[in-house]
């Protein structure tokens, strides 16, 4: 029998609506009310200014090492605005704009990067998962949530995020395969910033795009200009609506650039071409979105200045509140790290807790009082 071609039903497109000059393709431009456009910019600007302040705090020794989110605002915010409160938000760690939009207190973000796990607790009543630092581990959770939605017969959608480095992990492939096989309502958003720490995308894969991997899984895939908030809005809106109709998952590859080091412990000058970095600097998301808003007369310079002043005041307030919180239980008590892991604490862990208390000079009476205060603070 002769060889015969196999027809593959899926195709991969590239979507860009708003270029770096602020010019828009009117045929593709989404219909978004001026008020919502301005609010989208406000959340993106807040995320950018928070990220910049976090870097200063880290350099001052007031928080620990953290991964910056500068340049990723369009991906996070452009996608998250399509979710309902009942939908699931399953992040990695560069989705700062999305965290803030979903109602995470800025104080919680600060407390987390100060080294306190309490800051990773999602706000009460939100269908959000905590920050996921282990690479791609959250994608399995997202696939499971989507499968559970189907079993329960609800119409909630799951949107999850990962990087190009995460796309090389086995967890990523397993999650997307299961989501596709079981038609789970999951939107996989890959923040392709072109480097897995120091490993460039060309050394991670031979294929031209991450999006084309969707063909192998039997799901829809699309590559999007990740610095274009309008394109991210459109691509995610289509994927969310499709998932809500019960038509399965989608892989969105959001092409961007990591404008900062991988974390504040990294030195990208050792492995990146700075000329390329300068080229990408002209494509960053906030500048083009601001040009677009001003051209449409949605936002004026005066309104932008007011936003900046309000954001600076909010950040200053949050820093004061977060640093004050670390001075009081439960954050001020290192012994709480032993609590809430087990219903009945194992003997070996109890012994370690007692040894630490002794080393810190904490008496049993003091420990008991701290436990009561900690429990009350947590609502236990």
- What is the set of active-site residues? 258, 262, 271
Token pair 């969310």 is found at: 240
What is the three-class DSSP state of 168? helix
**Helices 301-325 + 106-113 axis angle, to 10:** 50
Return all residues near 124 (Cβ < 8 A) that are at least 6 apart. none
Number of neighbouring beta carbons within 10 Å of residue 165: 20
Q: Are 253 and 221 in contact (CB under 8 A)?
A: yes
Return all residues near 148 (Cβ < 8 A) that are at least 6 apart. none
Q: CA-to-CA distance for 139 and 371, rounded, in angstroms? A: 35
Q: CA-to-CA distance for 181 and 202, rounded, in angstroms? A: 29
Centroid of chain to Cα 50? 14
Centroid of chain to Cα 370? 34
What is the Cα gyration radius of the chain?
23
No. of H helices and E strands in the chain? 13, 8
Terminal CA-CA length for the chain: 71
The sign of the torsion formed by the CA atoms of 231, 235, 238, 241 equals: negative
Eight-state DSSP code of residue 123: P
Residue 305, both tokens: 């200045």
Instruction: Classify residue 372 as left (phi > 0), alpha (psi -120 to 50) or beta.
Output: alpha
């Amino acid at each position: 029998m002769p060889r015969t071609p196999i027809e593959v039903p899926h195709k991969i497109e590239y979507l860009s609506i708003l270029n770096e000059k602020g010019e828009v393709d009117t045929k593709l431009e989404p219909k978004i009310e001026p008020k919502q456009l301005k609010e989208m910019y406000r959340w993106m600007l807040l995320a950018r200014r928070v990220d910049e302040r976090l870097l200063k705090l880290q350099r001052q020794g007031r928080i620990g090492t953290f991964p910056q989110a500068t340049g990723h605002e369009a991906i996070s915010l452009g996608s998250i605005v399509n979710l309902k409160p009942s939908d699931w938000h399953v992040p990695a760690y560069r989705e700062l704009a999305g965290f803030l939009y979903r109602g995470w207190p800025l104080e919680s973000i600060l407390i987390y990067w100060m080294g306190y796990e309490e800051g990773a607790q999602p706000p009460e009543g939100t269908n959000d998962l905590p920050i996921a630092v282990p690479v791609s581990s959250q994608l399995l959770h997202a696939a499971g949530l989507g499968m559970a939605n189907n079993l329960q017969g609800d119409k909630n959608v799951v949107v999850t995020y990962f990087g190009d480095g995460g796309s090389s992990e086995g967890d990523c492939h397993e999650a997307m395969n299961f989501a596709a096989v079981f038609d789970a309502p999951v939107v996989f958003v890959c923040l392709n910033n072109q480097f897995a720490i120091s490993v460039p995308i060309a050394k991670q894969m031979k294929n031209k795009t991450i999006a084309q991997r969707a063909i192998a899984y039997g799901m829809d895939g699309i590559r999007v200009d990740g610095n274009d908030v309008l394109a991210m809005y459109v691509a995610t809106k289509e994927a969310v609506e499709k998932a809500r109709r019960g038509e399965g998952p989608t892989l969105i590859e959001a092409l961007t650039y990591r404008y900062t080091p991988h974390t504040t412990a990294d030195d990208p000058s050792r492995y990146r071409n700075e000329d390329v970095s300068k080229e990408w600097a002209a494509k960053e998301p906030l500048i083009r979105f601001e040009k677009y808003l001003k051209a449409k007369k949605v936002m004026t310079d005066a309104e932008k200045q007011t936003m900046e002043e309000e954001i600076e005041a909010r950040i200053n307030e949050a820093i004061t509140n977060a640093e004050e919180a670390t001075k009081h239980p439960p954050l001020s008590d290192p012994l709480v790290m032993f609590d809430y892991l087990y219903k009945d604490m194992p003997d070996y862990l109890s012994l370690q807790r007692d040894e630490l208390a002794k080393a810190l000079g904490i008496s049993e009476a003091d420990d008991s009082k701290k436990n009561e205060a900690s429990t009350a603070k947590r609502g236990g």
